[in-house]
Structures are given as structure tokens and as C-alpha cells.
Amino acid sequence: MSDKPKTSSCPMCKKPAERAGNPSFPFCSSRCRHLDLSKWLDEDYRVTTNITDRSLPSEEEDE
């Protein structure tokens, strides 16, 4: 039937993460899940900031 593994390697710390009773799967713990989430949020924030900076017409003023 299903041969899904009961454990997987945590993407953050590479430790074995258990699927059973683990709401943070495939991470080993909520701590690693939050670390990964903040990493993605940080990258998204930087990209958004970069785009905003480039579209600001700050040096187009003639005065």
C-alpha cells in the first residue's frame, strides 16, 4: 500500500524528524520550522525592499 517513511531528514538541521505526532513535520521541531519560515520571510522582505528602492524616483528632481 503506502510506503511513506515515518521519518524524514529535517531540512534545517538534518536530524531525523518523526512524522507521528509532529505538527512541524517535515521539520524535527517547531523551532526548526520557524527558522526556515523566518529565512523565507527575510529573503522575501529583501527582494521587496530592493524592488521598492529601484522604483523610487528619488534623484529625478530638478531644483
Type of residue numbered 40: W
Residue 10 and residue 26 in contact, taking contact as beta carbons nearer than 8 Å: yes
**Please, which residue, 18 or 42, has the CB nearer to Zn ion?**
18
The DSSP secondary-structure symbol of 52 reads H
**Please, which residue, 21 or 57, has the CB nearer to Zn ion?**
21
Please report how close the Cβ of residue 29 comes to Zn ion at its closest, in angstroms: 6
Alpha carbon distances (Å) from 9 to 3, 17, 32, 55:
16, 6, 12, 41
Contact with Zn ion (CB under 5 A) among 6, 13, 42, 50: 13
> Which region among 9-17, 18-26, 46-54, 55-63 touches Zn ion (by CB under 5 A)?
9-17
